Amino acid sequence: MPRGFSLLELLLILTLAGILAGLAYPRAVDTLDRATVERATRELVVAHRRARMNAVVESRIGLLYVSGDSVVLKMVIGSDTATRWRSPGPAALGVSLSGPTRPLRFLPTGVTFGASNATFVLSKGGWSRRVVVSRWGRLRVQ
């Protein structure tokens, strides 16, 4: 008895595997885009909370700069600033960011002040999330 597969059987199996992979690929990419946007959103929320806590702990004014390339926390010391924390921005994950370029300012009490209300939109593929920062420093993710 011969063992193995004929060329026709192998072609049929490869064709079916290709069709199944072609059907599954768009859904996998969509799921990956969604997870990436969620991760970038969480990182932005964590950066905001970190800035607020640093302002309270150090009893200084904190400045949170959010851009596509980086997220930077600086503390005001006299007339100068010192960088306390820096991380890559959403662009490092392939997520686009739109929103204000001005820093979010935190008082030593942890409350934001000045023009610190903002809306950031993070998007990739067909997915997007909005992070809304209120005047009082509250966050809402939509």
Q: Per the domain annotation, does 4 fall within a domain?
A: no
If one counts the domains in the chain, the total is 1
pLDDT of residue 130: 96
For residue 69, give its domain range: 36-141
CATH number at residue 135: 3.55.40.10
The predicted pLDDT at position 1 comes to 62
Cα separations (Å) of 24 from 21, 29, 30, 35?
5, 9, 10, 17
Q: What is the pLDDT of residue 82?
A: 96
Answer yes or no: are the C-beta atoms of 52 and 61 closer than 8 Å: no
Which secondary structure element, helix H or strand E, spans residue 127, and what is its range? Answer: strand 127-133
Q: Would you state the structure tokens that stand for residue 24, as one six-digit string?
A: 């599954």
pLDDT at site 93: 96
Q: Average pLDDT across each block of 10 residues of the chain; the chain has 142 residues. List them in order.
A: 81 91 87 96 95 95 95 96 96 96 92 85 96 87 91
User: Residues near 105 by Cβ (< 8 Å), separated by ≥ 6?
Assistant: 61, 62, 63, 112, 113, 114, 116
What's the gap between Cα 99 and its chain centre? Answer: 13
Query: pLDDT, tens digit, for every residue of 15-49?
Result: 999 898 888 888 888 999 999 999 999 999 999 99
Predicted confidence at residue 24, as pLDDT, reads: 85
Question: What pLDDT shows up at residue 34?
Answer: 96
Nearest residue to 66 via CA among 129, 13, 119: 119
Determine, yes or no, domain membership for 80. Answer: yes
pLDDT at 137: 77
Name the one residue in this structure whose structure tokens are 């890559």.
88
In a domain, 2, yes or no: no
* Residues 135, 139: Cα–Cα separation, whole Å: 10
pLDDT at position 2? 65
Is residue 19 a part of any domain in this protein?
no
Amino acid at 10: L
